[in-house]
Every structure is written in structure tokens, then in C-alpha cells.
Amino acid sequence: MSNLQNMLFVLLNKDACIYFYFLSAFFYILLIIALIAGIIFVFKKPAQLNFKIGIHGIILIFNIFLAYFVNRLLYTMCNKTLA
């Protein structure tokens, strides 16, 4: 049991922080794509826009931004803690 505990709960080194870096980069790219898609949608189909679609788009963009920000924050905290 001791070997299993050591394997599962051993402290990670600074290289493990790259996980948060890649996630923040991924969500940043998704955020840019969502913003561009939203702008294109507004200009291509202004007659079909309604309140429900607009709110869903805003919530989607906010959620992607939040995921980007949280992973960026975790990457910064991981780097500062394990430095």
C-alpha cells in the first residue's frame, strides 16, 4: 500500500504546470473562435436574431472566457508555488 500511495500522492514537479498552460492556450483559441463566429453571425443573419440566441451566445463566450481565466490563474499559481 505504501508504494501505491507514493505513486499516487507524490508531489509533482514544475513540469506538471504545463497542463494548465496548454488548457489556457486551448480556451484562448476557443474564445477567439467564438468571438469571430458571434460577429459573423450577427452580420450575416441580423433578421433572424432574437433575444434567446443572443443570451446563449453571450453565456457561451463568458463561460469560455472563465475557463481561460481560471486555467491561466492556475498556471500562474502552479509556477509560483513550485518555483
Q: Where are the domains of the chain?
A: 11-81
How far apart (Å, rounded) are the C-alpha atoms in residues 71 and 54? 26
pLDDT per residue as tens digits for the range 64-82: 999 999 999 999 999 998 8
Distance from the Cα of residue 51 to its chain's centroid: 26
Is residue 63 over pLDDT 90?
yes
Q: What is the DSSP string of 3-36?
A: HHHHHHHPPP-GGGGHHHHHHHHHHHHHHHHHHH
Task: Go through 56-83 and write b for each residue having 16 or more CB atoms within 10 A of its CB, e for each that does not.
Answer: ebeeebeebbebbeebbebbeebeeeee
The arithmetic mean of pLDDT across residues 9-15, rounded, is 82
pLDDT at position 69 is 97
% of residues, the chain, pLDDT over 90 = 48
Kindly report the pTM of this predicted structure: 0.79
